[in-house]
Amino acid sequence: MTVDPRLDLSINAGIARLTIRRPDKLNALDADMVEALLPLCHRIERSDARVVILTGEGGRSFCAGGDIAAWSQLPPDDFSRHWLRDGHAAFDALARLVQPVIAVLNGHCLGGGLELAACADYRLAEAHVRIGLPETSLGIIPGWSGTQRTVRRFGAGVVRRMALFGEVFDAEEAQRLGLVDQVVPTGEGMAAAEALAAKVTARAPRATEITKMLINAAEGEERERVLEVLAGGVAAASSDLREGLSAFREKRPARFDRISGSQKAE
């Protein structure tokens, strides 16, 4: 597994805490950090965590997005084939975790930082936070689903205002526009997230996972995979599978009941 000490993951009492620890660079992500994020998501997915809290170290920036020094010197082919594709793979994995994800925006959330926050199911913003998509002022596009997932989750109008016209919103305006779900006083984001996490862990885990997957599918996030995963789960729980595997092992024709499952019609 790719490991980067600037991405800190701890799992305790059903809560996974994923913290970006690069405050000297405003928690900007370089290529090594992007590469490390994907296996961390796989680790969370397979853990006993029931909910994820995502945040950045310090109070200046939740995440400043992609480190300009990391991508600005890349040849165009490497930029598109690796930097953007790797970022998509990592962010998709975060957005598609079966566990609900709470993002604590404890500092400014710009560019790729907002694309990262958009992967969460709930966004808590501290009062001093500012949010925007400044990429076009640098001659680049919001390339980690800043024109796709952000539009699905926040609406095209507000994304146009940030990405095309350069508007940057404070926390209260961001909440009014639906970019964040809750605003709390500066310094209180983590406590509010932990209270939310406790509500999640009190609910039925499997029902919560399935409900999140269905919401994602309705939103256009991984619709095909969700359908097959849920349908596959139904098939795997049926007596058809048990009979089919038994017949295979015993080298005989399968004898399927007309109605499978734990109960049959009278």
Q: Which of 45, 57, 126, 135 is catalytic?
A: 135
Q: How far apart are CA 209 and CA 161, in angstroms?
A: 33
| 250 given a catalytic annotation | no
| 135 given a catalytic annotation | yes
pTM over 0.85: yes
Please report the pLDDT score of residue 75 as a whole number: 82
Q: Tell me: pLDDT of 262 over 80.
A: no
Q: Which of 35, 45, 57, 115 is catalytic?
A: 115
CA–centroid distance for 226 within its chain: 15
Residue-range domains of the chain with CATH: 7-201 (3.90.226.10), 205-250 (no CATH)
Please report the pLDDT score of residue 74 as a whole number: 78
Judge whether 81 and 35 are in contact, CB under 8 Å.
no
> What tens digit of pLDDT does each residue of 24-47 get?
999 999 999 999 999 999 999 999
* Helix/strand/coil percentages in the chain, nearest 5: 50, 15, 35
SS3 label, residue 177: helix
Positive or negative CA dihedral for 248, 234, 43, 224? positive
Q: How far apart are CA 249 and CA 64, in angstroms?
A: 55
DSSP 8-state symbol, 66: B
CA–centroid distance for 35 within its chain: 15
Residue keyed to tokens 């500012």: 130
Please report the pLDDT score of residue 240 as a whole number: 87
Q: Where are the beta strands (DSSP E) in 57-181?
A: 61-63, 101-105, 108-110, 122-126, 130-132, 169-170
- β-strand pairing of 169-170 with 130-132: antiparallel
- Per-residue pLDDT band for 263 (boundaries 50, 70, 90) equals very low
